[in-house]
Chains A and B, each alone.
Chain A
Amino acid sequence: MAEERRQKQCSVVMPTESMKAMAESVGVGQLQEDSCVALSEEVSYRIKEIVQDALKFMHHGKRRKLTTNDIDHALKLKNVEPLYGFQSQEFIPFRFASGGGRELHFYEEKEVDLSDIINTPLPRVPLDVSLKAPKEQQKSEFTEPLKVVKPGQEEEGSIQAKGQGATSAEGLGKEKGSIRIKPRSTHELSVEQQLYYKEITEACVGSCEAKRAEALQSIATDPGLYQMLPRFSTFISEGVRVNVVQNNLALLIYLMRMVKALMDNPTLYLEKYLHELIPAVVTCIVSKQLCLRPDVDNHWALRDFAARLMAQSCKTFSTTNNNIQSRITKTFTKSLLDEKTQWTTRYGCIAGLAELGPDVIKTLIIARLSVEGARIKAVMEGPVVSNIDKIGAEHVQSLLLKHCASVIAKTRPLPDVVDQYRTDYGYLGPMLCSHVVKARAQAALQAQQVNRTTLTITQPRPTLTVSQSTLGVSSGPRTPSIIKVPSSLALMSTRPGTPTQPSPPTTKYIVMATSAGAASTQQVITLSSAQSGSPVTSTVPSTPSTLQPLVKLESSSTAGMSRPLQKYIVVSLPSSSSVDSKGSGVLPASTSPISVEQSVKLERSESPAASTQSPH
């Protein structure tokens, strides 16, 4: 075989016909056969020689492909004028033609009209040479110690993983001429995407509630946002960082709603960005101060809402690897146990823990009830301290009652004796006792109404009713309206967004109720501290007139009492799906979800502002 090839090598010469053709092309007519043979052998040898030299240039040019330039350089070596006009870097197509018993290969030279060349717009200037290195690697040179790669895995599979510095960096960037570092890293956005991003972020933090609703709806439902996800996540985390310092409660709320919307979007996979989102959310839960006037502003609602987000992300994303839930629990517990923790942070910790489920409540909160009770007592009954502390203590108290009562109702054997409670739970015992009694009553009621009672057991949501009933302490009539809802709480915990489920209406409703609870608590409490008026009435003034249609719709299904509640519910629950389901659930005739939401939004957008104004 090798021999065959050698033979070929040895005998390859230009055909004499080519010689003749070439001779004709330069005007030599009758070339003798002998001359042709001699010429062809000579020419073949020279060509081989030149190509062999050209190969040297190719090797030194670090290429695999021989180019016309290499040939030129080889000719130059031999002191031969290079062939001008063959500057192509690429393959030069030779055409084939035959006729008259002759076969020809030739290089087609097209006639070019100069005016065409002059008139055509200039082609794009080729990109200039640039030097790229993976960014993180560069950094590592200066900051980190070298990464150690384990030996003994030279096979292909590991090569790619190990050789990421070489491969990922250069491989990815080629299409657009710029380098990308990792698949996770930000991608360049198209102009449309940039516009979209700008619009969305502006709407989310802007003043127009209608726009915000649309934007959040878009975030929560649009597929294909993954390219913008890193930017959104940075936007949120940076936004929280800035606005916490500036105590801009409204913006914090908007940002949390964005988080909620992102989490609601089934096409987005947030896990890669939790490192940005979780700190933002936790900040909104436990920060000492979230608003300019802590005594009046309702930052409690934000804490509740963020706590719920936190709980949701724990459920969704916590794995044995990242251990989010246990890490978060530890964080909360630590500051809860700290004596010096302020009431605001304390509230956040408790809310955060409570949202994590009855087990957490049972082991971490109920165990602390007496201690917390004593602390609350000290504030409530002790010498007059600052108003802020008092408000904080009240909120913590109501929060504890709300969350603990339902759990205790499930776990504690029946006879609810006030004294027993007092011995068990200290200062909060009596109040807790009454809450538990109510909770039991509700549970019984629900068991009759809905078959799903069992679900409610697992859920922390029923505690909402308790919170309502804490309101109830000040305002009796409210509880019943809320009580309707609790059974569906279990469903609520499954991610909203499936409006077609038969039970969701109640679920959603409950959700709203819970947030309503929070929201209304906010209102109520501000009122109670300032005026001690009925909570319901207090909320009404803040609802703007634009809400009229909404009110009408709801009025058809429920008592007028629930109106303000619903509104407030929406405030804390921006997700469109919940609104949507609410609409469908509450109203047999489906109203356009957007209009409902819009109105809700509008109201909500004002609510923080309103709440800041209303007390004074």
Chain B
Amino acid sequence: MAAVQDGQVESDAEKETKPDASNDVAGNSSGGARSMSPNAASSASGAAKAAAPTGPGEQQTLLAVLQFLKRSKLLESVDILRREAGLSDELDESQTNDGAAAGSASLLRRVSVGGAAATNIAATTTSKGAEDQPDVSIVLSAYSQQGDPALYQVYYSGLKNFIESVLDCHRAELSQLFYPLFVHMYLELVYNNHEHEAKVFFEKFSGDQECYYRDDLRVLSGLTKKEHMKGNETLLDFRTSKFVLRISRDSYQLLKRHLQERQNNQIWLIIQEHLYIDIFDGMPRSKSQIDSMSGSLAGEARREANKAKVYYGLLKEPEIEVPLDDEDDEAENEEGKPKKKKPKKDNLGSKNKKQDPNAPQQNRIPLPELKDSDKLDKIMSMKEATKKIRLGPDTLPSICFYTFLNAYQGLTSVDVTDDSSLIAGGFADSTVRVWSVTPKKLRKVKSAADLNLIDKEADDVLERIMDEKTASESKILYGHSGPVYGISFSPDRNYLLSSSEDGTVRLWSLQTFTCLVGYKGHNYPVWDTQFSPYGYYFVSGGHDRIARLWATDHYQPLRMFAGHLADITCTHFHPNSNYVATGSADRTVRLWDVLNGNCVRIFSGHKGPIHSLAFSPNGKYVASGATDGRVLLWDIGHGLMIGELKGHTDTVYALKFSRDGEILASGSMDGTVRLWDALKAFDVETDDFTAATGHIHLPDNSQELLLGTYMTKSTPVIHLHFTRRNLLLAAGGYNSQ
């Protein structure tokens, strides 16, 4: 067997391409295509029979196949194969390999046994009846022919030795190969029931992997049987989606040459099949550059994935006549209409009227019309904004901490209204509670019968419809049947959204304190939900890995954003409401276009599930925090990582920019609130090269950017909010243990 190894591997390599294609089709059509994959395979074999030149190595291959089948006790298949081979059905497949492999000598003497393989597959599947296998099985079963699992270690260590011996500048880049190769080789071993070899392989090489893959390796370690792979979505994703690596052309050439010299086709195959190598011209990247970008489940984002134009600018604020009667706001109103939340007070009114070149069309997404009450609220917020403290490294905000007492670790989510008048908490006991933090108490609207008695012409009718008897500081909303993981106030404070483990998103009225709608669509826990800054729309994301965009008056989602490879853990609206950012357990942040549902940005670099997102008030940047305690900053326009804030020691659950975007506050499970100098962090010079390639040298300046650390005693910080005057509110449930 070993003697024929090389040649056989070659042939396998060629043969491999065919089922791969069929698999791609089947993979895209997901589980439903299972039954048709044998058909696809047999049609391939038919095609193979049509063209039937013979190659010299075929006998050996056939022998090997037969040998394997016998060993696998697939006697029926052996018979069929014998019969078919006796008919001398040889297939010389024309070169379907991609150009990267061209020029390889092996390609020329490649002998395809694709027909045999296909028959084999067809036979296997038919003999077993309707086998409930994911489509990956076909790909893998083809591998099984070559059969010597003991050599996997040799291959891997051969590559390892090679990579360790190359020049330093290439070593870092080529080291990226280790992890995906390791995982795929391991999975192949497992899939082919070489349990022992798989275990040995894992033990030998898992220690070499980068520490940030630890969590994945743990999952992998538990997986030792073929059957286990069936239900494991994470691994299925790993197989079906290509792991993306970014390697400079020089390094790639080096690798290719090596693999060809060594005839190391097993590895070459995996690279061809499961990896997407994004080749770029220029200097190889350094280790730190690579580390900063890698870590996600599917490797780095492809470069072209981040090339789409994103209109990150802000929408023009509607013009509102601000009454000049109040004594304290004449100064501001002279100069025009200040913006609402992004009050660039120093801007002149004329500039505000100009359209931001990066802003989307005003009506790109239809937005709800402003009601009178909204206008009043905007005026209020403008007035408040004029009293705002201008923050900076020298003027840090005061922090007011709202502690949830007696929550018994049941506090799962918190939100604060924009005007900081209400706080809502979602609890593990399925309740949602709303508190008023101003002296104004929460009141329900009177019942319909009582409402009839009211004089509708009265000036204070809005006051009269409220039932004074129900006034209290807090209200409890019952309706969910599982922990409430996400909560969000509507901008007009009339509604509250909550998302729960029970798979629903509920819309509550804060006038009647009742549930208005239960949005069903996610059948699995919904981890997060958020209202659009303009109301009406909201986004939700959960365990089903699909983020959904809803409108409050539609019971079905308007958009479904699919693409994440693991749970969507947090969702966030862009300030202009045209984009939605989602963070996921696959350790990427994606930005979706609300208009067409496309994924316009993929940010990779986190080393753990992402649990918090925040857009800067000017819409240009997004910050994300993950379980690894790091906060990463991204430039949306260029699709680049522009900063890394290290300091937290546990999951970052809350991120918030100050109203002017000068300070970024982050709150964590480790019970601290940290303040970062956002202006300085964003002040990274990006030349054309970095912008084009996305290779950025991140300065390690977290300590300089850190402006303050504020400890709680034993309270994880799970929400942060800047009031309109830039006072920082933080919230969390006290943990008594």
Stretch with Cβ within 8 A of B (4 or more), from A124-132, A264-272, A429-437: A124-132
A6 with B412, Cβ < 8 A, contacts A11-B199, A42-B225, A134-B400 known? no
Q: Which of B410, B706, B712 contacts A163 (CB 8 A)?
A: B712
B-side contacts of A149, CB under 8 Å = 396, 398, 708
Contact A62 B716 (CB under 8 A): yes
Does A239 sit within 8 A of B, measured CB to CB?
no
A-side contacts of B427, CB under 8 Å = 129
Q: Which of B227, B407, B669 contacts A129 (CB 8 A)?
A: B407
Does B715 sit within 8 A of A, measured CB to CB?
yes
Alpha-carbon distance A141/B399, docked complex (angstroms): 10
Contact A141 B223 (CB under 8 A): no
A159 with B225, Cβ < 8 A, contacts A129-B427, A166-B401, A170-B734 known? no
Does A335 sit within 8 A of B, measured CB to CB?
no
Contact A132 B723 (CB under 8 A): no
A170 with B423, Cβ < 8 A, contacts A10-B203, A52-B219, A137-B400 known? no
Stretch with Cβ within 8 A of B (4 or more), from A173-181, A223-231, A369-377: A173-181
A133 with B401, Cβ < 8 A, contacts A159-B711, A170-B712, A177-B406 known? yes
Shortest distance in angstroms between B726's beta carbon and chain A's nearest beta carbon?
7
Contact B400 A174 (CB under 8 A): no
Alpha-carbon distance A23/B401, docked complex (angstroms): 53
Alpha-carbon distance A5/B735, docked complex (angstroms): 31
B-side contacts of A42, CB under 8 Å = 225, 227
Contact A151 B199 (CB under 8 A): no
Does A69 sit within 8 A of B, measured CB to CB?
yes
Interface size, chain B (Cβ < 8 Å)? 88
Contact A146 B726 (CB under 8 A): yes
Q: Which of A59, A167, A174 contacts B627 (CB 8 A)?
A: A59
Chain A CB count within 10 A is highest, among B405, B482, B669, B730, for: B405
CB interface residues, B 703-719, toward A, < 8 Å: 706-713, 715-716, 718
Does A422 sit within 8 A of B, measured CB to CB?
no
Contact A163 B207 (CB under 8 A): no
CB interface residues, B 177-211, toward A, < 8 Å: 199, 202-203, 206-207, 211
Does B417 sit within 8 A of A, measured CB to CB?
no
A-side contacts of B410, CB under 8 Å = 61, 129
Contact B398 A130 (CB under 8 A): no
Shortest distance in angstroms between B402's beta carbon and chain A's nearest beta carbon?
5
Tell me the nearest residue of chain B to A8, going by C-beta. Answer: B221
Chain A residues touching B, range: 35 or more
Alpha-carbon distance A130/B473, docked complex (angstroms): 10
Stretch with Cβ within 8 A of A (4 or more), from B264-272, B387-395, B593-601: B387-395
Alpha-carbon distance A299/B423, docked complex (angstroms): 56
A179 with B405, Cβ < 8 A, contacts A6-B221, A170-B734, A174-B736 known? yes
B-side contacts of A89, CB under 8 Å = 408-409
Tell me the nearest residue of chain B to A9, going by C-beta. Answer: B221
Contact A167 B405 (CB under 8 A): no
Alpha-carbon distance A2/B206, docked complex (angstroms): 9
Q: Which of A62, A127, A131, A165 contacts B423 (CB 8 A)?
A: A131
Does B699 sit within 8 A of A, measured CB to CB?
no
0/1 interface trace, chain A 129-156, chain B, CB 8 Å (1 if under): 1111110011011000111111100101
0/1 interface trace, chain B 358-384, chain A, CB 8 Å (1 if under): 000000000000000000000000000
0/1 interface trace, chain A 40-65, chain B, CB 8 Å (1 if under): 01101100110010001101111111
Contact A77 B525 (CB under 8 A): yes
Contact B669 A64 (CB under 8 A): yes
Does A171 sit within 8 A of B, measured CB to CB?
yes
Q: Which of A41, A62, A131, A160 contacts B412 (CB 8 A)?
A: A62
Alpha-carbon distance A66/B238, docked complex (angstroms): 27
Alpha-carbon distance A63/B133, docked complex (angstroms): 37
Does B657 sit within 8 A of A, measured CB to CB?
no
Contact A133 B221 (CB under 8 A): no
A6 with B206, Cβ < 8 A, contacts A60-B485, A165-B399, A174-B736 known? yes
Shortest distance in angstroms between B691's beta carbon and chain A's nearest beta carbon?
32
B-side contacts of A147, CB under 8 Å = 398
Alpha-carbon distance A13/B227, docked complex (angstroms): 16
Tell me the nearest residue of chain B to A163, going by C-beta. Answer: B710
Contact B425 A129 (CB under 8 A): yes
Alpha-carbon distance A309/B53, docked complex (angstroms): 119
A-side contacts of B708, CB under 8 Å = 149, 151, 154, 159, 162
Q: Which of B395, B524, B527, B713 contacts A148 (CB 8 A)?
A: B395
Contact B543 A127 (CB under 8 A): no
B-side contacts of A77, CB under 8 Å = 524-525, 543
Contact A62 B669 (CB under 8 A): yes
Contact A61 B232 (CB under 8 A): no
- List 14 interface pairs A-B (beta carbons < 8 Å), by A numbering: A3-B207, A44-B222, A45-B225, A73-B483, A127-B405, A130-B406, A131-B423, A132-B403, A146-B727, A150-B394, A167-B710, A170-B712, A170-B734, A177-B405
Residue positions of A touching B, CB distance < 8 A: 2-3, 6-7, 9-11, 41-42, 44-45, 48-49, 52, 56-57, 59-65, 69, 73, 76-78, 89, 126-134, 137-138, 140-141, 145-151, 154, 156, 159-160, 162-163, 165-167, 169-171, 173-174, 177, 179
5 A-B pairs with the lowest CB-CB distances in the bound complex, closest first: A163-B710, A3-B207, A48-B222, A171-B713, A166-B401
Known: A62-B732, A69-B483. 18 other contacts (CB 8 A): A3-B206, A42-B227, A56-B543, A77-B525, A77-B543, A126-B408, A127-B406, A131-B403, A131-B474, A134-B401, A141-B727, A146-B395, A156-B711, A166-B730, A170-B403, A170-B715, A171-B712, A179-B405
